Structure 1
């Protein structure tokens, strides 16, 4: 069921991008909403679980996740932040590099889901919500003449199976390693969500709509957290 949800979230985001990709405001709002949701999941669920293990060095893995995401962005060119319009103008961008960067990102996210059976797990909800804007951007970027090419479908499929493959691979790891992968992904999530939320607004003016979208994302995450607890 979890594997099905992971794949479905990618396909849903891709088709949203196909039909609404030209509406930049829609894409921006979805991205900001997901960032508010994701950072709340990190601070309210992921990090408490990570630090509850009592490992004094676990923070190193969180920092490693932040640094890893910075490296991956050299491949993805900021797709995770919604920066995709400039890709159309860059002749030297390698689709292979983009695919590899996004695959590694999604694969790592899937590993902590190993042996998970709770479809309302907050971490899983964070990934599903996170997949929507990334896949939205991917769908908007790949669409050509109102239809997907064979190459487009291969890229979508490659990304869609990444997290499920991570989940399956995680089943073969020592369960004690889960907390380290969770800390690593927590760092990745923290970097992505904070960049989206805190990147400078035009002329450094207060963007009230952006703040509202973040608050909505936070509320959604908190409601999911409360629902899960009960």
Structure 2
């Protein structure tokens, strides 16, 4: 069921991108909403679990996650933030480096889901919510004349199966290693959501809509947390 949800979240984002890809304001608000949701999941659920054990060096893995995401962004060029430079658009394909970076990113996210039975776990909800804006940008870029080509579907499938493959591989790891992968992905999430939320507004003016979207994302995550805790 979790694998199906992971794939569906990608497909949902892709089709949103197909139909609303030209609406940049919609894309921006979806991205900020997901960032508010993601950072709340990190601080309220992921990090408490990471730091609940006796490993006092676990923070190093969070830092590695932050640094890893910075390295991956040399491949993805900020795709996770909704940024994409369209100078490759005339080729009608995504750069190979970007696809590899996206795959690694999504693959790592799937590993901590190994042996997860609760489809309402905050971490899973964070990934599903996070998939929407990334897939939105993907769908908006790949659509041609209101439809997807065969090559477009191959790219979508490549990204959609990344997290499920991480989950399946994680089943073969020692369960004690889960916290290390969770710390790693927590660092990745922290970096992505922080960049989206705290990147400068134009002329450094207060963007009330951005603040509202962040608050909405935080509220949704808190509701999910309360639901899960009961």
> Distance in 1 between the 2:126 and 2:94 partners?
29
> Distance in 2 between the 1:2 and 1:32 partners?
25
The residue aligned with 1:87 is 86
Q: CA RMSD in A?
A: 1.3
The TM-score normalised by the length of structure 1 is: 0.97
The residue aligned with 1:219 is 219
> Distance in 2 between the 1:94 and 1:159 partners?
12
The residue aligned with 2:140 is 140
Q: How many residues align?
A: 229
The residue aligned with 1:28 is 28
Alignment of 1:93-112 (within 5 A): 95-112=95-112
The TM-score normalised by the length of structure 2 is: 0.97
> Distance in 2 between the 1:150 and 1:90 partners?
17
Alignment of 1:1-230 (within 5 A): 1-84=1-84, 86-88=85-87, 95-230=95-230
> Distance in 1 between the 2:127 and 2:88 partners?
30
Partner-residue secondary structure (3-state), 1:218: helix
Structure 1 unmatched ranges of 5 or more = none
Structure 2 unmatched ranges of 5 or more = none
Q: 8 Å contact 2:106–2:162 — kept in the other structure?
A: yes
> Distance in 2 between the 1:200 and 1:15 partners?
29
1:195-215 deviation line (CA, Å, top 9, x unaligned): 000000000001111000000
Task: State the 1:144 CA deviation.
Answer: 1.5
> Distance in 2 between the 1:155 and 1:95 partners?
11
1:134-165 deviation line (CA, Å, top 9, x unaligned): 00010011111211111111110000000000
> Distance in 2 between the 1:80 and 1:87 partners?
15
> Distance in 2 between the 1:87 and 1:171 partners?
38
Q: 8 Å contact 2:32–2:210 — kept in the other structure?
A: yes
1:70-102 deviation line (CA, Å, top 9, x unaligned): 111111111100102x23467799621111110
> Distance in 1 between the 2:149 and 2:67 partners?
34
Partner-residue secondary structure (3-state), 1:153: helix
Partner-residue secondary structure (3-state), 2:172: coil
